[in-house]
Chain A
Amino acid sequence: MRWFEPVALGRIAALRVIAYLFIPLDALVITYWAPRHGGVPEEFYRPLEFVRWLPVPRPTELIVPVAAVLLLVVALTAAGMTIAGSRAAARPRDTVIRALGVLVAVLYLYWMVVAMSYGKVDHDRFAFLVLLFVLPTVAGARLGDRRATESAGWAVRAVQVAVVLTYFLAAIAKLRFGGLAWVNSGTYARAVIRRGTVLVNWTLQVPAVLVAFQWFTVIFELLSPVLLFLRNERVRLALVFGLYGFHAMTYLALGIAFWPHLVALAAFLPLERIPVRPKRRSAERAAQ
């Protein structure tokens, strides 16, 4: 696999904007339950392994809101500076954006400690965390920038691999915890009973449909690494949009969407081709 195949810097800048703007949405709307964890009785707190090794404060009614405000302010500043930075990529500004990016990654990781330490861990965060941690490793990225570099290539590749492994290792987890019998089990029926929407409750009377979807899920998860080796961009893009469709379907059926994962999935899209406003471009030209 090619880890350093150059990718356009504009994709990094676009991913910064999307990821950093997504964070307020995530913290306030999507994982709306996380900020309230500060008020949960201490007995319910079950520390993650990496927290035991590091001096990470336990979420409390005081620390949680402070962490939330810090995270939102830093993320929004980084997003704003990236958008404004397409006008002129002065070196100090670029360094500040990257430093803020490191802060965002660390604060978001702490936010995950707040979210995931109370009896349930979600599995849609890995690729997004990788995205946050690799974004600051790329220098000089501006929106719409088509210059391709190896540092952008590695960052994008790392996120793509993380996305694909999330699917592939989900199939491995099914084999580990459910065994081969998983594909013919009542797992999706259980999911529909527990949280099915009006659109899918009929499937409880036609269990073969749900079993067919279980086969489909495992097969596509096991085949997902194909995405990393496809050289034909059209086919790859078609598959990526297919994945977005699959996740949209899951959302309609069960009300579950892997939002942060969907943000990371955008690393497969040629975001550098999104046109930057012409006004900006001419200003940029004038500046040089």
Chain B
Amino acid sequence: MIGAHAGTIAHRRAPRRCRDAYAGPVGDAGTGEQTSGTLSPAARTWRMAVTVVVLLLLLAGSLVGTDAWFPVGPFKMYARATSPDATITMLNVEAVTVTGEVVPLKTDKVLGLRRAELEGNAPRIAEDPSMLGALAEDYRAAAPETPELVEVRLVGTRVPMKDGRAVGEGTDEVRAVWVLE
């Protein structure tokens, strides 16, 4: 390459004279780049056009979009305001085995279905509890060591808050039930 660069190899800690400066032909016709390291007007134009389109989509996503607009949807993680006196709910799936034992279904580990994904689907499960049946079936297919199940439930553990403090023990509430045949 260029002598000034090569010279710094022996004593790397010495201050570099041409820091970040152009020092050799760079250019590639494919990117509209010229050998001086500058972009041709056409290469600049398409880059700015793409930039503007993506920025507009992103802005629209943030103002009126939904999660389904991913990757330009609103960045709304933790964006909802929870009242300091609200009751917090955490959803889980549990099942009853043929021997009457209640076991948790680890949908996260087995099916990759995280708690937040269960919650995203909760309204639809409440409307159509047969989704729990399908879930149990695929769960047992993915984890064959699971004993035979007779019932699947979507359970919400509720923890009350007062002035932003957790008060009292959590209580469980069954949100949906599906009996397996």
Interface residues, chain A, with chain B CB atoms under 8 Å away: 3-4, 6-9, 32-37, 39-44, 46-50, 94-95, 109, 112, 116, 118-123, 125-126, 129-130, 137-140, 146-151, 154, 158, 161, 165-166, 169-170, 172-174, 176-179, 181-182, 184-191, 193-194, 204-205, 207, 210-211, 272, 275, 278, 281-282, 284-285, 288
B31 within 8 A of A: yes
Distance, CA A42 to CA B8, complexed state (A): 60
- Please name 15 further chain A to chain B contacts, defined as beta carbons within 8 Å, in addition to the given A118-B120, A119-B120, sorted by A numbering: A3-B48, A32-B112, A35-B112, A41-B134, A48-B68, A49-B68, A119-B116, A120-B117, A123-B77, A129-B71, A139-B27, A140-B27, A174-B76, A174-B78, A190-B82
The answer to whether B164 and A210 have CB atoms under 8 Å apart is yes
- Nearest residue (CB) in B for A125 is B71
B14 at interface by CB-CB < 8 Å: no
Q: Is the CB of A177 within 8 A of B80?
A: yes
How many angstroms from the CA of A32 to the CA of B5 in the assembled complex?
A: 44
Can you give 6 contacting A-B residue pairs, CB < 8 Å?
Answer: A36-B113, A150-B37, A150-B39, A151-B43, A178-B81, A190-B82
Q: Does B12 lie within 8 Å of A275, measured CB to CB?
A: yes
The answer to whether B47 touches A3 (Cβ under 8 A) is: yes
Most chain B CB within a 10 A radius of its CB, from A44, A158, A165, A194? A44
**Residue B172 CB within 8 A of the other chain:** no
- A124 to B, closest residue via Cβ: B77
Contact of B113 among A8, A40, A285 (CB under 8 A): A40
Contacts of A189 in B (CB 8 A): 82, 84, 161, 164-166
7 tightest A-B CB contacts, nearest first: A119-B120, A36-B112, A207-B164, A33-B112, A139-B28, A178-B81, A41-B134
A278 close to B31 (CB less than 8 A): no
A128 to B20, CA, bound (A): 25
Which residues from A are CB-within-8-Å of B63? Answer: 172, 176
Q: Which of B37, B79, B119 contacts A170 (CB 8 A)?
A: B79
Give the A-binding residues of B (Cβ under 8 A).
1, 5-6, 9, 12, 16, 18-24, 26-28, 30-31, 33, 37-39, 43-44, 47-48, 51, 54-55, 58, 62-63, 67-86, 88, 90, 108, 110-114, 116-121, 124, 128, 131, 134-135, 137-138, 141-142, 159, 161, 163-166
- Our pick among B31, B85, B114 for the contact of A138 (Cβ within 8 Å) is B31
Contact residues in A for B85 (Cβ distance below 8 Å): 186
Q: Which of A147, A178, A185, A188 contacts B26 (CB 8 A)?
A: A147
Is the Cβ of A185 less than 8 Å from the Cβ of B79? no
For B40, the closest partner residue in chain A by CB is A150
A149 lies within 8 A of B121 (CB): no
Q: Are A4 and B71 in contact (CB under 8 A)?
A: no
Would A140 and B131 count as touching, CB distance under 8 A?
no
Candidates A47, A165, A188, A204; contact of B165 at CB < 8 Å: A204
Q: How far is the CB of B48 from chain A (nearest CB, A)?
A: 7
Contact check, B166 vs A36: say whether CB atoms are below 8 A apart.
no
Q: Which residues of chain A are near B19, meaning CB under 8 Å? A: 146
Chain A residues lying within 8 Å of B163, measured Cβ to Cβ, are 207
Task: Please name all residues of chain A whose beta carbon is closer than 8 Å to the beta carbon of B142 when the two chains form the complex.
Answer: 36, 39
Residues of A with C-beta under 8 A to B70: 48-50, 112, 116, 121, 125
Shortest CB distance B24–A (Å): 6
Q: How far is the CA of A44 from the CA of B149 in the complex (A)?
A: 21
